[in-house]
Amino acid sequence: MKPVDRQKICPNCDGRIAYDATQCTYCFATLPQDNTSSKIFGSSQDNLTAIYTPPYPTKAETEPKTTSKAAVYPEKESPLTENAPTDVKSFWPLLLLCLGGNLLTLGILQFFFSDRGVVRLEINGSYWFLMVLLSLPLLYLGLKNASKNDS
């Protein structure tokens, strides 16, 4: 089994290149060198905390240590008297979206496929039962999902 080569991502083209490469093989951009000196001296967070004090008081300064052997129970929340506003989902946005999409499609059909200003769409009328049979499960699933979203 071949060991996995360490890779890094080129900051210029997001290509995967070898970890120790100095130039990207895809976009030929020169890559910045990693400074290994930070590994010798520890993490930069340790260096910063030693140099700078925070502008806010820390927990140790604000809260004195209290050793209490009494059991502390969390405070029970009182029930809310206000009802939280519920999201009322309306069918109007969906209806307007469907109507607008259908009118846009009809307008594009008229613009590109009209013959002397007339667009004729002919559907064989003997397949009406097939359309009704296909529409019933779709209507059932749509109404079921709409009622599930309401509750």
% of the chain at pLDDT higher than 70: 64
How far, in Å, CA of 39 to CA of 41, rounded?
6
Asked whether residue 97 is assigned to any structural domain, the reply reads no
- Bridge partners for 18 per DSSP: 7
Judge whether residue 21 has pLDDT over 70: yes
* Tokens describing residue 31: 């890559």
Asked whether residue 86 is assigned to any structural domain, the reply reads no
* Tokens describing residue 61: 């300064």
Place of tokens 């200003």: 117
pTM above 0.85, yes or no: no
How far, in Å, CA of 131 to CA of 145, rounded?
21
Pick the most confident of 63-77, 86-100, 103-117, 130-144: 103-117
Asked whether residue 24 is assigned to any structural domain, the reply reads yes
In this prediction, residue 2 has a pLDDT band, given cuts at 50, 70 and 90, of low
Asked whether residue 51 is assigned to any structural domain, the reply reads yes
- Residues found in the chain: 151
Show Cβ contacts of residue 128 under 8 Å, excluding neighbours closer than 6 positions.
none
Domain that holds residue 51: 7-56
Average pLDDT, the chain: 74
Domain count, the chain: 1
